[in-house]
């Protein structure tokens, strides 16, 4: 004991002797300054982790550059020019917009106004990537059927289940039928698949992320949630991260443009609540390795959401038709939630999607229940409170009217047309297909012509395709609207490539310079500002 006391005395004398060299004020300030330095270093490391060293350096450089007199105003001026270019004259179209109620209502005369406005819309029949998935004219066939179903229930609201019991039943049946398509009848699903209808794929994704966050907080006590997504994952996950205060870890895709399982595994930590797989991914139409992601999710005890917004009403039928489709649904162990849009290939009215969960234990974290409101007890299943019952009835009518045989026939037509379009693109020497499309989205780029200039020429011919980046490319999402016109699309695409090859350079009114500049702009913060400015001036 005496020896221990001697050691303590010796160390204390040694420490006091060492510290006596410094001023007392320095000793007092050193600990808080060290804490501040550690905090700054921690923030810098987090910033580097999120944006990379290049992004952080560029951010600092641009911040200093903007301090130079005149530079900030010049940048703002250039931004306005780009925004005006993106708007392409939209402001002039607003000159006759109504800004207040008419003094006397138009009554039935309003229908004429609606028809006049509708005639000014872009001609979308057969020439839009995605957008309209139903074939034929609006006034006939399936179009007419779902419009009639909607009108019958346009006054209903499933918030009032006691009043509109029919709509509540329709929603339950749509969810059950969709779940059956996506593995609920398989033993590996657990037999408890449940879910709700939402307003679209984005809301379905938002709810799945929010539910996963709250479920993992209850299960593991995670208070600083993170989710891991591939670069190809839909931008709705970024929206969810901003809304629900979740950190995103973004992983580059493989050379096949699918989620990198090894990269995702390296990002999993004690704060991970969710990993994402897409079937297929929106940009390139390729299916992520869902089975391998399921193994990861099971091993580390995290949630796995599968984005089937595009594929939910194609892949099950394509598999029945004999196409090679890798596992993607609740038959995969580890999948905890799925989102799928009925208003796409389900051919339901716009504004209908489904979010599904493996069991009720997970789904209960989606709901919001309020017990202390003076208005009474309140509970709501989705982000929206009131919901349009007409859309639910329209989705039910779409699914029940088509049935298995109808969906199989539609899938056969769009898959065959997609393969023909893919083959036709491959035969154009200047173009190459990105990845190996599994479904009805075909993305293509070029190493010899400016693909965005090709897109502008196609736009001048009435086609509306989607511009992509990393790499620069465009894609077409094939729908029933394209089945009768795919040959015209290939002819126009071949002619557009030829025009750009022989006369390179942007066309008047085209957006190729804007897309090209945005893709090359190293400061992504500047691109972010441009997008926000554009949206702020457009809505």
Instruction: Map 320-372 to HEC letters.
Output: HCCCCCCCCCCCCCCCCEEEEECCCCCCCCCCCEEEEECCHHHHHHHCEEECC
Return the axis-axis angle of helices 24-65 and 524-536, rounded to nearest 10°: 60
Distance of CA 227 to CAs 205, 247, 265, 303, 468, Å?
Answer: 13, 6, 12, 9, 24
0.95 exceeded by pTM: no
Domain boundaries, given as residue ranges, for the chain: 37-64, 188-386, 403-538
CA quadruple 87, 91, 96, 99: dihedral, nearest 10: 100
Whether 351 contacts 201, CB under 8 Å: no
DSSP 480: G
The dihedral through the CA atoms of 407, 413, 418, 423 has a sign that is positive
Whether 506 contacts 513, CB under 8 Å: yes
**pLDDT at residue 87, as a whole number:** 65
Strand spans (E) along 175-246: 194-198, 226-230
C-alpha span between 262 and 293 (Å, rounded): 10
Q: 403-538 is classed in which CATH architecture?
A: Alpha-Beta Complex (3.90)
DSSP 483: G
Whether 150 contacts 394, CB under 8 Å: yes
Whether 230 contacts 281, CB under 8 Å: yes
**pLDDT at residue 418, as a whole number:** 97
Q: Tens digits of per-residue pLDDT, 191-221?
A: 999 999 999 999 999 999 999 999 999 999 9
Whether 280 contacts 310, CB under 8 Å: yes
**pLDDT at residue 136, as a whole number:** 85
C-alpha span between 392 and 398 (Å, rounded): 10
**pLDDT at residue 12, as a whole number:** 82
C-alpha span between 239 and 152 (Å, rounded): 34
- Topology alike, domains 188-386 and 403-538: no
Q: Strand, coil or helix: what is 2?
A: helix
Per residue of the chain (539 residues), give pLDDT as tens.
557 777 777 878 787 777 777 778 877 787 888 888 888 887 777 766 666 676 666 666 666 656 666 656 656 666 676 666 666 655 556 777 888 999 999 999 999 999 998 888 888 888 999 999 999 888 789 999 999 999 999 999 998 888 999 999 999 999 999 999 999 999 899 999 999 999 999 999 999 999 999 999 999 999 999 999 999 999 999 999 999 999 999 999 999 999 999 999 999 999 999 999 999 999 999 999 999 999 999 999 999 999 999 999 999 999 999 999 999 999 999 999 999 999 999 999 999 999 999 999 999 999 999 999 999 998 899 999 999 999 999 999 999 999 999 999 999 999 999 999 999 999 999 999 999 999 999 999 999 999 999 999 999 999 999 999 889 999 999 999 999 999 999 999 999 999 999 998 888 766 666 666 566 555 666 677 777 777 777 77
Q: What is the mean pLDDT of the chain?
A: 89
CATH T-level assignment (fold) for domain 188-386: 3.40.640
The DSSP bridge pattern shows strands 466-468 and 473-477 to be antiparallel
């Amino acid at each position: 004991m005496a020896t221990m006391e001697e050691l303590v005395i010796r160390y204390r004398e040694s420490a006091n002797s060492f510290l006596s060299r410094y001023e007392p004020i320095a000793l007092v300030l050193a600990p808080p300054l060290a804490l501040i330095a550690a905090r700054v270093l921690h923030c810098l490391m987090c910033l580097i982790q999120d944006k990379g060293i290049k992004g952080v350096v560029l951010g600092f450089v641009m911040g200093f550059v903007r301090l130079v007199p005149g530079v900030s105003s010049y940048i703002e001026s250039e931004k306005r020019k780009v925004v005006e270019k993106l708007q392409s004259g939209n402001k002039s179209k607003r000159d006759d917009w109504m800004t207040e109620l008419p003094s006397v209502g138009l009554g039935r005369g309003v229908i004429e106004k609606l028809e006049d406005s509708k005639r000014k819309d872009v001609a979308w029949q057969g020439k839009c990537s995605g957008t309209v998935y139903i074939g034929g004219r609006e006034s006939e066939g399936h179009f007419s059927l779902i419009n009639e179903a909607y009108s019958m229930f346009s006054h209903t609201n499933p918030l009032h289940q006691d009043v509109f019991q029919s709509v509540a039943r329709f929603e339950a049946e749509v969810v059950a039928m969709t779940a059956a398509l996506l593995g609920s009848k398989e033993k590996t699903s657990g037999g408890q698949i449940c879910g709700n209808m939402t307003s679209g794929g984005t809301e379905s994704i938002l709810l799945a992320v929010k539910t996963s966050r709250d479920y993992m907080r209850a299960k593991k006590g995670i208070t600083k949630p993170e989710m891991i997504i591939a670069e190809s994952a839909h931008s709705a996950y970024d929206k969810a991260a901003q809304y629900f205060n979740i950190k995103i870890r973004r992983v580059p895709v493989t050379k096949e443009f699918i989620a990198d399982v090894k990269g995702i595994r390296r990002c999993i930590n004690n704060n991970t609540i969710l990993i994402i797989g897409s079937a297929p991914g929106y940009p390139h139409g390729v299916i992520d390795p869902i089975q391998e992601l399921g193994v990861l999710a099971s091993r580390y005890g995290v949630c796995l959401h599968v984005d089937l917004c595009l594929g939910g009403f194609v892949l099950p039928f394509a598999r029945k038709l004999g196409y090679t489709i890798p596992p993607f649904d609740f038959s995969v162990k580890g999948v905890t939630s799925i989102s799928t849009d009925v208003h796409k290939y389900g051919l339901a009215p716009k504004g209908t999607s489904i979010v599904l969960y493996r069991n009720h234990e997970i789904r209960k974290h989606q709901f919001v229940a309020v017990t202390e409101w003076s208005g009474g007890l309140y509970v709501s299943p989705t982000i929206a409170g009131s919901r349009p019952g007409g859309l639910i009835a329209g989705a039910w009518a779409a699914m029940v009217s088509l049935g298995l045989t109808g969906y199989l026939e539609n899938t056969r037509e769009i898959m065959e047309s997609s393969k023909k379009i893919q083959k036709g693109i491959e035969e154009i020497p200047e173009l190459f297909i990105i990845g190996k499309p599994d479904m009805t989205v075909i993305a293509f780029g070029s190493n010899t012509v400016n693909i965005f200039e090709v897109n502008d020429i196609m736009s001048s011919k009435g086609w509306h395709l989607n511009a992509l980046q990393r790499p620069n490319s465009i894609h077409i999402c094939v729908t029933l609207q394209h089945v009768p016109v795919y040959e015209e699309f290939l002819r126009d695409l071949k002619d557009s490539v030829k025009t750009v090859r022989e006369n390179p350079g942007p066309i008047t009114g085209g957006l190729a310079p804007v897309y090209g500049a945005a893709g090359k702009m190293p400061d992504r913060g500047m691109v972010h500002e441009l997008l926000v400015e554009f949206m702020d001036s457009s809505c």
